[in-house]
Structure 1
Amino acid sequence: MRMSIVALSITAALLAGCGSDDKKTPAPVPKVNTAPTTADMTVDVSQSILFTGKLEGTDAEGGLTYSLVDPADLKLGTFTLVNKSTGEFTYTSDANEGTEVVRFKVSDGQLQAEANLTINIKHGDPLFTYQWHLKNTGQNAFAANRGVAGEDMNVSGAISDNAMGQGVIVAVVDSGLEIAHPDLTNNTVNGGSYNLITGTVDPTPFSGSATAAHGTAVGGIIAAEGWNGIGGRGVAPKAKLIGFNFLDEDPTGKVTNVQTFENFAKSHGASAYSDSARVFNQSYGYSVPFPHGFDEDETEVYQDIATQSFDGKGSIFVKSAGNGYDYYRFRTFWLPGDYFTATTENPANHGLPFHNSNMSSDNANVYNLVVSAINAKGKLSSYSSVGSNIFVTAPGGEYGDNDPAIVTTDFMGCVKGSAIAEDRPSTPFHGGLNPLNPNCDYTSTMNGTSSAAPNTSGAVAVIMSANPDLTWRDIRYILAKTATTVDADIAPKTVTIGEGEGAPVYTAIPSWLQNAAGFSFHNLYGFGRVNLTEAVKLAKSYAQDLGDYVVTEWQASAALTKAIPDADINGVTDTQVVADDLVIEAVQIELTADHLRLPDLAVELISPAGTKSVLMTPYNGLVYQGVMDKNDPDDLVKGYDATPMLSNAFYGESSKGEWTIKLIDVNSGSYRFVKYDQGYISIPNEADGKLKGWSIRFHGHAAKSAS
């Protein structure tokens, strides 16, 4: 008890002392935590364009953290909280229209506040979600089967970077262009087109056929207007179009041939009618069953416009490779002899292309950027012509019934074009019964390298808009450098020479190669599929110096009489030493060789670095020798006669050193083909061929010296 009294006395004394000492520090005031504040927000976004914003939030003490209340509430798009400390976010949606409400909160670690972010998606394109070539989500595009997600041209990043083709004019040289189409009219140059038959500024075709609608479909792939609430959109939705009906026919019969050289010049940049265009789309071509040379007049136009227009920056001519892998048409249909008996296990023509793209001399012209077609599964389109002249591949799709084709513009109305009303429309999208296409203004069956070319033309326009100072050669470099390697594990295509065990096997189409300059190349795909987002990135930071453009003179071999042994994998070779030290941008040859059965021959070119390019595959469709009039000297085909071929496989390598050409005969047996109006036709194997000569020419720029 005494101890308790003492303790209490001490405590009282201490308390009394505290209260009476003026020098003591006052007791601290408790810190008050102010609650963070936020507010509801509303933003407007456009379909498929990445939106960047910042969530509202303040706190007197600082140190906020942002988060979503329930991320599962997001239904229409993708919301990414880029920075949880600042509230920075991105949002993108492929929805045509709609409203998304995002509930978010801000917290200082103790207290929090919540608010709503309302996102209004406006001005979309209802068919965009079916345009797998722009963004492949695995959709079917009104076909029976779906594509593979991601197998597209990677367009979204370029669009979000505001590279949409603005300021670039693209010429559609085709059947014509329906400039009144509601998805095209705002993106056509007023008065800029030309009708090569009537002389007016309206190139709308006369016929209402699906064939006549071809150019309108092409125009939509390039530059259908975006974010206007109708249809789909083009690869370059802010580019401008001019149209020329170069492939049209005069219904009156007064103009018997539209495809004259005069009209070629008018529509390909060599006149005031078309010199405003910096990109020329040529979704046309021809396949012939015999070797032939360049049209010198047309080649001169190509070279002049490609290299000299726009103050030397030049223009780009985009060209479809052809649709003749299985067969082609020249007045009638020409097919391999085993076409009708082929199976999956034993494909027709040994699995090789009947129409090699180098068979068409305009495709061997370096000023044409030749494009093959790829489908929605990331494989070569079943019909696409291929060859060493392919520069890139781009979406062409399949036929739109079983597997996706391209969704694009068609003639307006349900009585003309591809989407017409009929008893059994080819797809549920056609015929006027689909709510997305009630007026049949759009088609879902556009395909072919005719679609791959405008996909590339649109991409070129976008690249130009990202950096208007680029030259035609810069753009080719960018496409080659940024292209996506597709179908990476594709097996080589081979043929057996002769019969029996141990018979040699010839590789007619090798797998992907990497040349000595580091570029990957394949005869089916060129440098790969167009990758637009990466191309725009490189265009905006472009620093490559390609130097002055150099074209060497043709360097010819001596006159030769070298026998081509029959069915011998060793073939025959000849070598030329090249002194010029150029960085290669393209290589052309002209070949002269006698052979009475040209489909037996493969033609290879080997560079000093050892890169091998197959310029002409065997079992090709050069079969005219089976139907020629042997008594008519003008109809006689003895073989190759200064026949041009182009290869892009050597891009970036040096031209200096030994170049070797090699011809291999792969067949000593029988050979036949089908000419549709005559039936099966055989070509005898009567004599060994002869290599008689060849010339080589390089396009490129001078190599930099070591200093």
Structure 2
Amino acid sequence: VCGTGIAPKAKVAGIRLIDGDITDTEEAKALSHALNLVDIYSSSWGPMDDGQTVEGPGKRTLAALQRGVRDGRDGLGAVYLFASGNGQNIDDCNCDGYANSVYTLSIGAVDSNHNQPWYSESCSAMIAVTYSSGEDNEPGISTIDVGGECTDEHSGTSAATPLAAGIISLVLSANPLLTWRDIQHLIVETATKVNEDDLSWSLNGASHLVSHKYGFGLLNAGAMVRAGLLWNSVGSLEVSTVNGGPQMSSIDPQAGRQILEIADSKNAELGLMEYANFARSDESHGECCIDRLSIIENTLDSVACLYAKSLTVLIVTASAPQNTIGVDSIETVAVTLTILHECRGDLEIIIYSPMGSRCVLES
């Protein structure tokens, strides 16, 4: 026996998926496999962590995730976990469309000293961290190795994510009536703040401390179970959408901040909004095309696009988004952007909520 594990009475099944090139259909089948039996899908895989790849679920895989949170666990929703990634110095987990999906939970890592390890990526999409390996002289994670042998060298966010799955399994065993969205809220309310002197921590609009390095903090199994036993369900997901209108503006890099309105919902069907940056000859030029802003829970106030070295374009919604019936508060904002630029590394994308939350979407 290599260890008791976090949830020793949980049943575990493995799906062989990433031993070669895989298709959208194969991913969709894996993420909906035995949906009537599987409560939690733990995925320690995703796009390459090379700082160049921007990929996410295909149409079939996205449909599988949507079906899972709708139909899984007899309508309470399957819980999908994805590792945030191991490309810290060169990558951003917001570029991983599996980790940043509203239907999944992205899990990062801390070492035994509660520091962000050298590999763990940072992003606004990461909800929390769990323990994993650190430097070579620090302990790794004990588990079963290939061939049935034991190892204490399991590492990376690939090791952190199954630990999160075990903790959530404990919570669901204590209260099987929790929904997939209840689990998200429980994490936010109970995660333990670590390395609190780290400058990445900030107070969001809902008065929660949050960090792009640690999410809402370190998963706390005991606190989650205790809170889960007394939890009142947060209810179903409501979605509201804002679409860009057909506006074009030539932007002078020396002009500073410009306020450009998105067309309201009456004109949303008219097409794309494009902002072209025609820079001076000694600067790279680019174009930022925003074709859809998908808002989860209530309204979007503004989104900022930073061009080149100093140009900021502030986009402000002109009216409330469509389909706002039943929406009470902002939980998640999903932004769909199409950006053409000669040097993508020059771009930083930041979104601000009406209550002052600041999320870096790309840096």
User: CA offsets, 1:322-348, max 9 Å, x none?
Assistant: 10013xxxxxxxxxxxxxxxxxxxxxx
Q: Would the alpha carbon gap of residues 537 and 600 (structure 1) be closer, same or farther in structure 2, given more than 3 Å must change?
A: same
* 8 Å CA contact 2:47, 2:56 repeated in 1: no
Separation in structure 2 between the aligned mates of residue 537 and residue 293 of structure 1, nearest angstrom: 35
The corresponding residue for 2:141 is 406
Match of 2:28 among 265, 268, 290: 265
Residue 236 of structure 2 is matched in structure 1 by 548
Kindly indicate whether the alpha-carbon contact (under 8 Å) linking 1:486 and 1:528 is maintained by their aligned counterparts in 2. yes
Q: Give runs of ≥4 in structure 1 deviating > 6 Å.
A: none
Offset of residue 274 of structure 1: 4.9
Contact persistence 1:606–1:612 (CA under 8 A) = yes
Paired residues of 1:307 and 1:472 also in contact (CA < 8 A): no
Displacement after TM superposition at 1:411 (Å): 2.8
Residue 575 in structure 1 maps to residue 289 in structure 2: no
CA shift in 2, pair 1:566/1:318, >3 Å:
closer
Q: Structure 1 residues 448 and 565, CA, compared in 2 at 3 Å: closer, same or farther? A: closer
Identical aligned pairs, as a percentage? Answer: 29
**Corresponding residue pairs, total:** 302
Tell whether the 8 Å contact from 1:307 to 1:314 is kept in structure 2 after alignment.
yes
Contact between 2:31 and 2:61, CA under 8 Å: does it hold in 1?
no
1:520 counterpart = 2:209? yes
Q: Does 1:231 align with 2:28?
A: no
Task: Confirm or deny: 8 A CA contact 1:266 1:274 kept in the other structure.
Answer: no
Give the equivalent residue in structure 2 for 1:457: 165
1:577 deviates by: 4.2
Q: Is the 8 A contact 2:205 2:353 kept in 1?
A: no
The match for 2:346 is 600
Q: If the length of structure 1 is used for normalisation, what is the TM-score?
A: 0.41
Deviation at 1:357, TM superposition (A): 0.3
TM-score by length of 2: 0.78
SS at match of 1:305: helix
Q: Does 1:304 align with 2:72?
A: no
Q: Secondary structure at the match of 1:593?
A: strand
Alignment of 1:383-394 (within 5 A): 383-394=119-130
Select which of 100, 108, 113 maps to 1:364.
100
**1:395/1:299 CA distance change after superposition, 3 Å:** same
Whole-Å Cα distance in 2 between the matches of residues 521 and 546 of structure 1?
A: 20
RMSD: 2.0
How far did residue 293 of structure 1 move?
5.8
CA displacement at 1:299 relative to structure 2: 0.6
Q: Is the 8 A contact 2:69 2:180 kept in 1?
A: yes
Residue-by-residue CA offset, 1:456-490 (whole Å, 9 max, x unaligned): 00011000001001110111111111000111001
Q: Which amino acid in structure 2 is aligned with residue 286 of structure 1? A: P
**Per-residue deviation, 1:387:** 0.4
Partner SS state of residue 143, structure 2: strand
TM-fit CA distance, 1:572 = 2.0
Q: What displacement does 1:574 show?
A: 1.3
- Are 1:317 and 2:80 matched, yes or no? yes
Cα separation, 2, equivalents of 1:542 and 1:322? 31
Shift of 1:292: 4.6
Gapped regions of structure 2 (runs ≥ 5): 245-261, 264-272, 278-305
Change (3 A) 1:395 1:578: farther
Residue type of the alignment partner of 1:295: G
Please list the CA deviations of residues 264-321 of structure 1 after superposition, one character each: whole Å capped at 9, or x if unmatched: 233222x5x4531010010111126144565122111001112222221011011001
Query: Counterparts of 1:526-565 in structure 2 under 5 Å?
Result: 526-543=215-232, 545-556=233-244, 557=262, 559-563=273-277
Give the match for residue 284 of structure 1.
45
Deviates more, 1:514-523 or 1:534-543: 514-523
Equivalent pair of 2:308/2:347 in contact (CA under 8 Å): no
Runs (5+) with no aligned partner, structure 1:
1-229, 250-256, 327-353, 414-440, 492-510, 618-707
User: Counterpart in 2 of 1:158?
Assistant: none
SS of the residue 1:561 aligns to: strand
